Amino acid sequence: SQQGEEDPQALSIQEGENATMNCSYKTSINNLQWYRQNSGRGLVHLILIRSNEREKHSGRLRVTLDTSKKSSSLLITASRAADTASYFCATDAGQGAQKLVFGQGTRLTINP
């Protein structure tokens, strides 16, 4: 069954605006990761946040994690047309090389 639920399923904003996507999960985790998928392409790893971290930044990306609510958010600031893609959260619940359990993704469209 799908661990992560992403919200919204689709988001359309104007270039320059900020985009926020949310992800909820069900079980305890070791870390949570966000990936981007451009249409018809593979997944690109964006950022990983560990269960003992609350916030992490990477360039225009800001990720928060609330383990008490089992939720995470991805904020993209000053969006660009090139940010148009699907964004997926994925959780890694086990020790060692455990599988990733993905959310269903948010389709982000940046309008010029």
Query: Would you say 62 and 53 are in contact if contact means Cβ atoms under 8 Å apart?
Result: no
Distance CA(41)–CA(44), nearest Å, equals 9
CB of 17 to another protein, least distance (A): 24
CB of 16 to another protein, least distance (A): 27
Q: Is 86 helix (H, G, I), strand (E, B) or coil?
A: strand
Number of Cβ within a 10 Å radius of residue 53: 14
Using CB under 8 A, list all residues that contact another protein: 2, 31, 33, 35, 37, 39, 41-45, 48, 86, 88, 90, 92, 96-102, 104-105
CB of 49 to another protein, least distance (A): 12
CA-CA-CA-CA torsion for 81, 86, 89, 95, nearest 10 degrees?
-110
Judged by beta carbon, residue 48 or residue 77, the one nearer another protein is: 48
Judged by beta carbon, residue 37 or residue 109, the one nearer another protein is: 37
Judged by beta carbon, residue 31 or residue 77, the one nearer another protein is: 31
